[in-house]
């Protein structure tokens, strides 16, 4: 076909692509040629080209399939020995490349290579068609590299592309060959990092653009290629002009590409990438939003299943991740993880681009760990970063970045777990990242910072001056290598300041002069960081906290009041910053409160504590697993903060405020679960639509929390639900009369907890402990407890544990002298040393707590009747009630919170009736295959309960009948419930604490998930039913507390294992008292237990047998 005829047909093909009638006529005319015609093959090829052209214009895969069919027919009809056979093969290879680009089927790459290689073999040396054959083979090799990552394929792509360019001197074909060769050289640079390859790429792509007239249809793709190459040069040399030019060219390419063009989405994707790079370079939110906008456009224009979709989703995830980093919105982070994970999950496992996506996903998980503290997110970050590094060759430019990201995650794992091997790994990866990064690289400073931070942690671990010098050197180099105006410069100065601050503290005694110089340098760099950071930056509040710390260091040395005022100003400003995370606000408020207290500034101090407690619900956000929230409670020292706040409020004559502080710090996670079950009846009456939305979201969250595992609580949907609930609650608080919705109760409402008897809250503090006695709703009195402190309480708890250990409470022995515990364990009846320790504990409790408290009660005319203990800290694990004398007339109970007591009474009033009580008794005398766990007296215990309950409805479930499913159904309908079996406390995951039944464990989570509308009283005649986690002193999620949370108004439980023989003794007295007058009253259950324990004491049983029984609730 002559060049003139070819040009004519190309114009026809282009016209036919957009004109269906012309297309059908042209293809129909060609199809009329008979098979016997010598040019039949050529007509079939022209039909194939027509379909292929329309595919390239409209993107219909069916056209591409038709094109392949007609190319194959043409090839089969070729006359033997024709040199045109090579051209048909080359066209067929091109169609297979197009098919791969749409469907991602690797077989098409192999077929394309096969046809291209065969085509070159057919042609002799010097043939005029050889350049186009090399060009086609080069594109197939390049595509093979992009799919499989083999460097040899890329080198062959370059060699064949170069042969194509060298084999032709002018014309549009030369421009096309130069364009493709430019792309190959760019990929070579990205793979090997040689600047000569990058310059060759720029040279050839510019030449390919210069050869085209203005408005040519191929210009957008070539402009995009030049943009990509200039962007790579920017990464290499850091010249801002290259990035600006890349952005302008990318935008021009998108604007001039016809709408609906199959390659438009790819141009939009590349423009999104460039816009995000502009944001990273100049911190322009406009560029960030543009990056997100163009990536969404690219995804909208791309059909499902397209091989480019994983890249598009990954980049959208990257856009959201950057947006989160800049603005701190958790919703952006959830979207980042969702989209990045979509990219990773849909990418073939052997795809060379997969490490890019894995690293991006790992980074998003790392961000979420830093935001929420869920260690599972950190493990996910390490998992994906390790996979990314494993899939990256050591000579690839991305190799340093992979090491940097993995090093950062291992550093944070060290900070979390304090395993020095994790820190050594962090240093190893960060050193490798720097070694592989050339001088002048834009990312070099960031990588030096990562290594500096790792060495600083090593200095803190080793106190080796050499480690500090290495850290300081890399910190200083990171600052020196960061240009003025760079968005990361404040952070790098902040880190340099931190290194000086660390050393000043380490040498303040040995070298105070040098320490003072370090303090001033830290102050200088931190002030510069604050001055150059936008106030809406997520790290701005953190910089203010550190600047306050530097002023505090100055104040400690020079004692100048101006420094003190600067400390308070910057801490308060950090708390008020709307971009600050809850954890940052909590830290700032804690420091603020401490400084204000030490300076004797009451108003400032109490305001700081109130600020801290206002972010407590966000700090312990429902969107993270309960175990992670418990970790937050421990790591942020919430219990210690609560105790300090209450102590300060008492010292400043604000006892009512102390009550509200203590209330907010007790049983936090339990209250969160209860909030999810709240029916919000008042809201339903006034704003039914809001109530319905809240109920739906809370219901979904509740059930996910009850089935909590890593997959559930790491899912984007789970986090989105928690976010939606938080936003809805804030919306409700803006409604009339609902300003306090789900906010902590004010003292006026809490004080009614004392309407049926005094409530004694005990604040156990490291220096100043107090009893806060709600004598009545109208009377409140505080007394100092000078003999109570955290240290002393811990010491007494240690003595208690020692005494229990001596009694073999946790051992099992079948010899005489031991009695079987309800857990299937054995303990000594008595030993002299244990008796001494128990008496010592009781003496301390009497002297330190009961005598001063009871004296106050008697001053108010209260010498008998109900009282409730609401202890905090270590005192939650010490049997305060046991210190009362045998003839004491006080009937003692415990309550985890005042609100729990108030709600229990409301429930009791709503259930008041004259009907018979339904009593359900569940007992396990033996568990199959575990004879050591036999409890032979359980049957007798239940029989005595049946006798005592007289004419009440009685439901007995024993042994094999007591399956998990059956018992759960019994509990759901139970009013009065007795459980005589083994119990087990799960210390790390409280919702897995359980009652051991005939076929398995009935977990607390299952009970909490159940609706218990009739529940009144439960007797847990089992072991460990009122034990908790010593790490979480103020959380009441043990079995007894769990049954209260589930809806029971009162519970009898045990602090440790009880003797099997004591179950029938105590139960008999309890139920005889409760049912002595017919219908029982749950409010009498505390007195019933009091009588039963008195009976045990009068019989002379040892301490360990009567002390563990406790009463909780109304």
Residue 799: other Cβ atoms inside 10 A: 17
The sign of the CA dihedral 604, 606, 610, 613 is positive
- Compute CA 965 distance to the chain's CA centroid, rounded to the nearest angstrom: 33
What is the rounded CA–CA span in Å between residue 1020 and residue 1022?
5
Predicted confidence band of residue 668 (pLDDT cuts 50, 70, 90): confident
pLDDT in tens, 269-289: 999 999 999 998 888 888 999
3-state SS class at 529? helix
d(CA 634, CA 152): 55
Distance CA 357, CA 369 (A): 18
Any idea which of 79-83, 200-204, 646-650 has the lowest mean pLDDT?
79-83
Six token digits for residue 46: 């022209």
Q: pLDDT at residue 669 above 90?
A: no
Q: In this predicted structure, which of 126-140, 659-673, 676-690, 862-876 has the lowest mean pLDDT?
A: 676-690
CB 99 within 8 Å of CB 68: yes
Provide Rg for the chain, Cα atoms.
Answer: 38
Q: What is the mean pLDDT of the chain?
A: 87
Angle, CA of 935, 938 and 940, to the nearest 5°: 130
> Is the pLDDT assigned to residue 2 strictly greater than 50?
no
Element (H, E) at 750: helix 747-750
**CA angle (910, 912, 917) in 5-degree steps:** 125
Surface-to-core class of residue 345, CB atoms within 10 Å of its CB (0-12 exposed, 13-18 middle, 19+ buried): exposed
748 CB-near residues (< 8 Å, 6+ apart): none
Per-residue model confidence (pLDDT) at position 1030: 54
Checking if the pLDDT of 228 tops 70, the result is: yes
- Give the three-state DSSP class for 39: coil
Distance CA 1002, CA 1042 (A): 13
Three-state secondary structure call for residue 890 = strand
Residue 952's φ and ψ, nearest 5 degrees, are -70, 160
Residues 6+ apart with CB under 8 A from 335: 316, 317, 320, 716
Whole-structure pTM value: 0.64
Going by their DSSP bridges, the two strands 759-763 and 865-870 should be labelled as parallel
State the Cα–Cα distance between residues 350 and 534, nearest whole angstrom: 43
Of 140, 147, 159, give the one whose Cα is nearest residue 97. Answer: 140
Residue 810 has pLDDT above 60, yes or no: no
Instruction: Name the residue among 550, 622, 530 with its Cα closest to residue 582.
Output: 622
Residue length of the chain:
1114
Q: How far apart are CA 409 and CA 390, in angstroms?
A: 15
Is residue 1112 within a helix (H) or strand (E), and if so which, with residue range? strand 1109-1113
Q: For residues 529 and 526, give the distance between their C-alpha atoms in angstroms, rounded to a whole number.
A: 5
pLDDT at position 1083 is 94
Task: For 182, list phi and psi in degrees, rounded to 5.
Answer: -60, -45
Cβ pair 616, 664 in contact under 8 A: yes
**Per-residue pLDDT at 657:** 96
Phi-psi region of 1000 (alpha: psi -120 to 50; beta: other; left: phi over 0): left
User: Can you tell me the mean pLDDT for 360-369?
Assistant: 93
- Tell me the pLDDT band of 821, cut-offs 50, 70 and 90: very low
Nearest Cα to 911, choosing from 680, 677, 683, 1082? 1082
State whether residue 593 is helix, strand or coil.
helix
Inform me whether the pLDDT recorded for 714 exceeds 50: no
559 CB-near residues (< 8 Å, 6+ apart): none
Give the largest CA-CA distance in the chain: 121
Closest CA to 404 of 345, 362, 370, 439: 362
832 pLDDT above the threshold of 50? yes
**β-pair partners for 1112:** 894, 1051
Specify which residues 811 forms β-bridges with. 826
Minimal CA–CA distance to 1050: which of 1022, 1005, 1082?
1082
816 pLDDT exceeds 80? Answer: no
Q: Are 865 and 890 in contact (CB under 8 A)?
A: yes
Q: How confident is the model at residue 139 (pLDDT cuts 50, 70, 90)?
A: very high
The lowest-confidence range among 181-195, 211-225, 722-736, 769-783 is 722-736
Please list the alpha-helical segments (H only) found in 123-218: 130-148, 151-166, 172-192, 195-210
CATH code at 100-211: 1.25.40
Task: For the chain, report the end-to-end CA distance as a whole number of angstroms.
Answer: 99
- Give the mean model confidence (pLDDT) for residues 132-161: 94
DSSP 8-class letter at 817: T
* pLDDT value at 295 more than 50: yes
Can you read off the two tokens belonging to residue 734? Answer: 């803006």
**Ranges of each domain in the chain:** 1-82, 100-211, 900-1113
Per-residue pLDDT, 236:
84
| Residue 366 neighbours by CB under 8 Å, 6+ apart | 377, 378, 381, 405, 408, 409, 412
Confidence of residue 914 (pLDDT cuts 50, 70, 90): low
Residue 1083 DSSP SS3:
helix
Would you give the DSSP letter of residue 560? -
The confidence score (pLDDT) of residue 494 equals: 93
DSSP secondary structure letter of residue 867: E
Q: Is the pLDDT of residue 666 over 90?
A: no
Q: What pLDDT is attached to residue 369? A: 92
What are the residues facing 978 on neighbouring strands? 921, 1019
Residue 11 confidence class, pLDDT cut points 50, 70, 90: low
Phi, psi of 776 (to 5 degrees): -160, 175
What is the band of 1076 on the pLDDT scale with cuts at 50, 70, 90? confident
pLDDT level of residue 817 (50, 70, 90 thresholds): very low
Say if CB 994 and CB 984 are below 8 A apart: yes
The count of other CB atoms within 10 Å of the CB of residue 829 is: 14
- What average pLDDT does the segment 372-400 reach? 92
What are 30-70's pLDDT values in tens digits?
A: 777 788 888 889 888 888 988 888 888 777 888 899 999 99
CATH 3.90.226.10 fits 900-1113, yes or no: no
**Can you count the helices (H) and strands (E) in the chain?**
49, 16
Comparing 170-184, 296-310, 745-759, 923-937, which segment has the lowest mean pLDDT? 923-937
Q: Return the minimum-mean-pLDDT range out of 158-167, 537-546, 876-885, 1051-1060.
A: 1051-1060
Mean pLDDT of all residues in 686-699? 78
């Amino acid at each position: 076909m002559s060049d003139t005829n070819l040009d004519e047909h190309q114009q026809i093909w282009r016209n036919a692509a957009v004109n269906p009638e012309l297309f059908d006529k042209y293809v129909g005319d060609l199809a009329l040629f008979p098979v016997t015609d010598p040019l039949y093959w050529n007509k079939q090829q022209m039909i194939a080209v027509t379909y292929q052209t329309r595919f390239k214009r409209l993107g219909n895969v069916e056209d591409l399939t038709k094109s392949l069919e007609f190319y194959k027919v043409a090839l089969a009809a070729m006359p033997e020995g024709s040199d045109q056979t090579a051209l048909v093969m080359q066209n067929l290879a091109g169609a297979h490349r197009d098919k791969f680009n749409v469907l991602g089927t690797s077989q098409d790459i192999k077929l394309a290579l096969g046809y291209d290689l065969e085509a070159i073999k057919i042609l002799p040396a010097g043939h005029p068609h050889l350049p186009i054959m090399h060009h086609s083979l080069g594109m197939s090799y390049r595509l093979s590299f992009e799919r499989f990552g083999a460097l040899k394929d890329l080198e062959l792509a370059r060699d064949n592309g170069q042969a194509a360019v060298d084999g032709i001197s002018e014309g549009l074909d030369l421009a096309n060959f130069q364009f493709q060769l430019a792309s190959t050289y760019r990929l070579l640079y990205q793979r090997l990092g040689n600047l000569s390859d990058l310059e060759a790429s720029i040279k050839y792509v510019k030449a390919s653009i210069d050869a085209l007239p203005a408005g040519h249809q191929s210009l957008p793709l070539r402009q995009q290629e030049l943009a990509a190459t200039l962007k790579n040069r920017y990464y290499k040399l850091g010249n801002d002009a290259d990035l600006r030019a890349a952005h302008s060219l990318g935008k021009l390419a998108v604007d001039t590409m016809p709408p609906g063009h199959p390659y438009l989405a790819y141009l939009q994707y590349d423009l999104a990438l460039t816009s995000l790079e502009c944001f990273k370079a100049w911190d322009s939110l406009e560029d960030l939003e543009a990056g997100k906008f163009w990536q969404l456009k690219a995804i909208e224009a791309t059909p499902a299943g397209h091989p480019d979709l994983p890249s598009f989703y990954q980049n959208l995830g990257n856009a959201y991740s950057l947006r989160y980093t800049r603005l701190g919105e958790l919703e952006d982070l959830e979207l980042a993880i969702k989209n990045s994970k979509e990219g990773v999950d849909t990418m073939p496992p052997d795809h060379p681009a997969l490490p890019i996506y894995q690293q991006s996903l790992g980074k998003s998980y790392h961000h979420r760990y830093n935001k929420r503290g869920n260690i599972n997110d950190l493990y996910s970050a390490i998992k994906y970063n390790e996979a990314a590094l494993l899939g990256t060759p050591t000579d690839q430019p991305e190799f340093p970045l992979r090491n940097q990201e993995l090093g950062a995650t291992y550093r944070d794992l060290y900070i979390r777990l304090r395993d020095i091997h994790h820190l050594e790994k962090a240093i190893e990866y960060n050193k490798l990242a720097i070694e592989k990064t050339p001088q002048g690289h834009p990312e070099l400073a960031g990588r030096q910072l990562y290594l500096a931070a790792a060495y600083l942690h090593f200095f803190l671990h080793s106190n080796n001056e050499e480690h500090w010098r290495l850290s300081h050197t890399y910190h200083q180099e990171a600052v020196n290598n960061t240009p003025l105006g760079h968005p990361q410069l404040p952070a790098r100065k902040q880190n340099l300041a931190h290194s000086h601050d660390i050393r000043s503290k380490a040498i303040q005694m040995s070298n105070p002069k040098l320490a003072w110089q370090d303090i001033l340098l830290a102050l200088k760099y931190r002030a510069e960081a604050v001055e150059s950071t936008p106030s809406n930056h997520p790290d701005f509040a953190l910089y203010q906290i550190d600047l306050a710390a530097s002023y505090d260091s100055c104040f400690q040395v020079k004692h100048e009041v101006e420094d003190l005022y600067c400390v308070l100003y910057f801490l308060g400003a950090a708390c008020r910053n709307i971009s600050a995370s809850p954890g940052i606000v909590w830290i700032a408020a804690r420091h603020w409160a401490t400084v204000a207290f030490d300076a004797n500034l009451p108003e400032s101090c109490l305001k700081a504590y109130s600020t801290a407690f206002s972010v407590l619900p966000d700090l312990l956000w429902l969107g993270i697993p309960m175990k992670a929230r418990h970790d937050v409670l421990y790591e942020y020292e919430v219990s210690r903060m609560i105790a300090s706040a209450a102590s300060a409020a008492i010292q400043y004559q604000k006892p009512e405020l102390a009550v509200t502080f203590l209330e907010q710090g007790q049983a936090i996670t339990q209250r969160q679960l209860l909030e999810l079950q709240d029916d919000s009846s008042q809201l339903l009456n006034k704003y039914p639509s809001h109530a319905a939305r809240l109920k739906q979201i809370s219901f979904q969250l509740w059930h996910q929390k009850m089935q909590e595992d890593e997959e559930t609580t790491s899912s984007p949907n789970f986090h989105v639900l928690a976010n939606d609930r938080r936003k809805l609650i804030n919306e409700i608080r803006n409604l009339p009369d609902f300003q306090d919705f789900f906010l902590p109760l004010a003292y006026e409402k809490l004080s009614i907890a004392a309407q049926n008897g005094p409530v004694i809250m005990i604040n156990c503090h490291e220096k100043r402990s107090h009893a806060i006695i709600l004598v009545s709703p109208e009377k409140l009195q505080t007394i100092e407890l000078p003999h109570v402190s955290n240290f002393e309480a811990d010491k007494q708890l240690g003595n208690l544990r020692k005494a229990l250990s001596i009694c073999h409470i946790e051992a099992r022995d079948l010899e005489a002298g031991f009695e079987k515990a309800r857990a299937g364990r054995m303990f000594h009846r008595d030993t002299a040393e244990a008796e001494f320790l128990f008496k010592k504990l009781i003496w301390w409790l009497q002297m330190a707590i009961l005598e001063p408290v009871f004296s106050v009660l008697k001053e108010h005319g209260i010498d008998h009747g109900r009282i409730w203990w609401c202890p905090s800290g270590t005192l939650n694990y010490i049997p305060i009630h046991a210190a009362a004398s045998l003839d004491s007339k006080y009937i003692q109970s415990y309550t985890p919170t005042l609100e729990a007591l108030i709600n229990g009474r409301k429930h009791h009033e709503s259930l008041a009736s004259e009907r018979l009580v339904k009593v359900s008794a569940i007992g396990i005398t033996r568990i199959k295959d575990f004879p050591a766990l036999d409890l032979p007296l359980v049957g007798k215990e239940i029989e005595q309960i049946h006798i005592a309950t007289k004419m009440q409805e009685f439901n007995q479930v024993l042994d094999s009948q007591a399956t998990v499913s059956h018992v759960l159904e019994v509990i759901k309908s139970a009013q009065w419930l007795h459980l005589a079996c083994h119990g087990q406390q799960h210390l790390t995951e409280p919702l897995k604490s359980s009652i051991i039944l005939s076929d398995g464990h009935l977990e607390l989570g299952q009970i909490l998930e159940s609706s218990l509308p009739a529940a009144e009283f439960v007797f847990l005649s089992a072991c460990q039913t009122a034990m908790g986690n010593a790490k979480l002193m103020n959380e009441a999620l043990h079995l007894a507390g769990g049954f209260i949370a589930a809806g029971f108004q009162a519970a009898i439980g045990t602090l440790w294992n009880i003797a099997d023989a004591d179950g029938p003794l105590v139960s008999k007295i309890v139920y005889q008292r409760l049912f002595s007058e017919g219908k029982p009253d749950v409010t009498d259950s505390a007195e019933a237990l009091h009588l039963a324990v008195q009976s045990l004491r009068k019989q002379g049983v040892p301490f360990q047998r009567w002390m563990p029984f406790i009463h909780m609730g109304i």
